[in-house]
Amino acid sequence: MSMIGYGGFGTVYKVQNKYDNKIYAIKIQATINSYRAGAKYHPIAIEEAKNLLLVQSEYVVQYYDSWLEGNCTYIQMELCSQSLRNIMEIKPQVFNRQIGHPMDCVEYFISCEIFRQILESVQYLHEFNPQIIHRGIKPDNILITENVTNGRFIKLCDFGLATYHDKRVHFRTERKHDQDVGDMKYIAPEVVKGEKYSIKADVYCLSLIGGELFEVDLDEINLDEYDPIND
């Protein structure tokens, strides 16, 4: 067993199953002191396991099992080789390019394909009825699978903050979504302020990720017309 990632919501290990000899990712999270406001005292790890079971698809990491052991929740998932964060860090070196210099056509089209698959994965969540807001979209939670099927290699992970969105309910003042949920670098302004928000909170995250992927100066992105509520 070797650690391959860690964060505020748990540690991820690469593990070989002694029964089938296959390699999996195991996420371990302590259940004590891991409660999210408004979640009726359900540990985030249990919320994530429930959400992963719901969204079984080629667009998200494959979920296999989860269990409680001592004070920890264990989630067994598909092992993915890299995250988008890793890819963005090594991409300039792979293409022998200085950061800030223009991409050649090959790197540009590969970047377009990566971003297209990210958009498809998020769209998959937003087309549920009721819709699902991921609320944790960031390069670290966008993974590259080792088992490519149908040409797809991008998968979303970390559904501990995911929530349903029903316009008939969550746009009412007394039933707004939780405030200040997500990574502060990618969190949408309306989420920080505790205002009403929708799936566009995820779209805001995607705009920032696209800027990073294509190395756009984020100060040049005009968000003056950004409307978090209206379609």
| Cβ-proximal residues to 100 (8 Å cutoff; 6+ apart), any chain | 215
What domain count does the chain have? 2
Q: Domain boundary residue among 77, 96, 113?
A: 77
Residues contacting residue 179 through CB under 8 Å, at least 6 positions apart: 191, 192, 193, 194
pLDDT, one tens digit per residue, over 66-104 is 888 888 888 899 999 899 999 999 999 999 999 889 999
Gap between the terminal Cα atoms of the chain: 46
**Would you tell me how many other CB atoms lie within 10 Å of the CB of residue 45?**
23
Instruction: Name the domain boundary from 77, 112, 129.
Output: 77
104-163 pLDDT, tens per residue? 999 999 999 999 999 999 999 999 988 999 999 999 999 999 888 788 999 999 888 888
Q: Of the residues 28, 49, 77, which one is the last residue of a structural domain?
A: 77
Is 27 annotated for ligand binding?
yes
Q: Are residues 65 and 85 in the same domain?
A: no
* Spatial contact of 98 and 178, defined as CB atoms under 8 Å apart: no
| Residues 158 and 137 both lie in one domain | yes
> For position 206, which CATH number holds?
1.10.510.10
Residues 144 and 215 in one domain: yes
**Residue 128 within any structural domain of the chain:** yes
Both 92 and 192 in a single domain? Answer: yes
Looking at the domain assignment, is residue 225 inside a domain?
A: no
The three-state secondary structure class of 215 is coil
Q: Which domain holds residue 172?
A: 80-220
pTM for this model (two decimals): 0.83
